[in-house]
């Protein structure tokens, strides 16, 4: 249960697992369990029961959470990078350590 420098809506690259190399946007962060939900990554089939009249039941494909250690922030060029901080004009900015660009 550590603190992460990743935030919701960050673009990340998957570093390990069946979807290694894929990129996506963070939809949700579970800091308590160190998990992240990444859009379009780690898709699993889930049986869903019909709840309402207009609901679609059946087998749906939904994103499953990944461990936060298996993703890294993606720089503008799509390369994985660690996140650092720099002070610019009294403002704290998040930067990609590899390229130095502001995230």
The number of distinct structural domains making up the chain is: 1
Sign of CA dihedral 78, 79, 85, 87: negative
Q: Where does the pLDDT of residue 1 fall: very low under 50, low under 70, confident under 90, or very high at 90 and above?
A: low
Residue 3 lies in a domain: no
User: Tell me, what CATH number does 26's domain have?
Assistant: 2.30.30.30
Identify whether the C-beta of residue 17 lies closer than 8 Å to the C-beta of residue 70. Answer: yes
pTM of the model: 0.80
Q: Which of 76, 64, 78, 75 is nearest to 30 (CA)?
A: 64
Share of the chain above pLDDT 90, in %: 43
For 15-50, what is each residue's pLDDT tens digit? 998 999 999 999 999 989 999 999 999 999 999 888
Q: Which of 64, 56, 66, 65 is nearest to 15 (CA)?
A: 66
- pLDDT over threshold 90, residue 67: yes
Which range of residues forms the domain containing residue 51? 11-96
């Amino acid at each position: 249960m550590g603190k992460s420098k990743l935030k919701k809506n960050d673009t990340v690259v998957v570093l390990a697992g069946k979807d290694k190399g894929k990129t996506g946007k963070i939809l949700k962060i579970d800091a308590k369990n160190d998990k992240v939900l990444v859009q379009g990554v780690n898709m699993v089939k889930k049986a869903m029961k019909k709840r309402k009249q207009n609901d679609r039941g059946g087998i749906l494909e939904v994103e499953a959470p990944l461990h936060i250690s298996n993703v890294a922030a993606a720089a503008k060029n799509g390369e994985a990078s660690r996140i650092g901080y720099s002070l610019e004009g009294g403002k704290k900015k998040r930067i990609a350590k590899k390229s130095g660009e502001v995230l």
